[in-house]
Each structure stands twice: as structure tokens, then as C-alpha cells.
Amino acid sequence: MADKSTDPAALWQSMLGEMEKGFNAFASQAMASPEFSKVMNQAGSAGAGAQKQFGDMMEKYLLGLNLPSRAQMVDIAGRLQSIEAQLGEIRTMLQQSRAGSPGADSASEPQRPPRTRRPPSPEGTPT
């Protein structure tokens, strides 16, 4: 077995461990300063502003192509769900009214008007 002082993997591992400790100490010290938080806040607000501009630009682009934006599609989906819910309620009410009406067993057959005219007789005169 190789000696710990001459093993290149052990030397590499200890060197990386020391570098990691140094970097963590530096990063902790930098993050504690108010300047760091100010810079991070500015970067975050700049990113949010760029995202809003991109969203506005994309909405104008889609409007020019006569296509709906994401917000419009979300609105359409909400409206469609509302319509489907109302249709479900109407269907339920119709089923309940059919079940309570007389002659419910013939509800599946369409009702036809009474036949009052008779076909012509073989002599050609209606009876």
C-alpha cells in the first residue's frame, strides 16, 4: 500500500479540501458585506426588468401575428372550464327532469307528432 505522504491521490484530495475551505471562508466574508447584498439586489431587479420587457415584446410580436399570448390562453382555458361546468350542471338537471317526468321509459325515443292524415285509398280519394 502506498504511503500517505507520497500518494498523489491523497495529496490531490487534501489540496482540494484546503482550497474548498479557503473559498468557503472568502465567500462567507463577501456575502456578509452590505455591498454584496446591494449588488445582488440590483442584479435581481435588472433581471426582473429584462424579463418584463421580453414578455411585453413577445406579446406585441404574437399580437402582430394574430396569435393569443400566454395570458390570453390562460383566460380562455378558465372560461372553457366554466362553460364545461355549466354544461355539466345543465346535463344533470335534464337527467333529473327526465327521470321525474311521466313516460320516462320512452325518453330515449324521440316523440313524434300524432298522425292525423291518412294515406290515400287505392281509388285515389282520401278518406
Q: How far apart are CA 26 and CA 46, in angstroms?
A: 26
The pTM score is 0.40
Name the one residue in this structure whose C-alpha cell is 505522504. Answer: 5
76 within 8 A of 68, measured Cβ to Cβ? yes
Mean pLDDT score across all residues of the chain: 85
Per-residue pLDDT at 6: 77
Pick the more confident residue, 114 or 24.
24
82-110 pLDDT, tens digit each: 999 999 999 999 999 988 876 555 556 67
**Range with lowest mean pLDDT among 44-53, 78-87, 102-111:** 102-111
- Domain limits, the chain: 16-52, 66-96
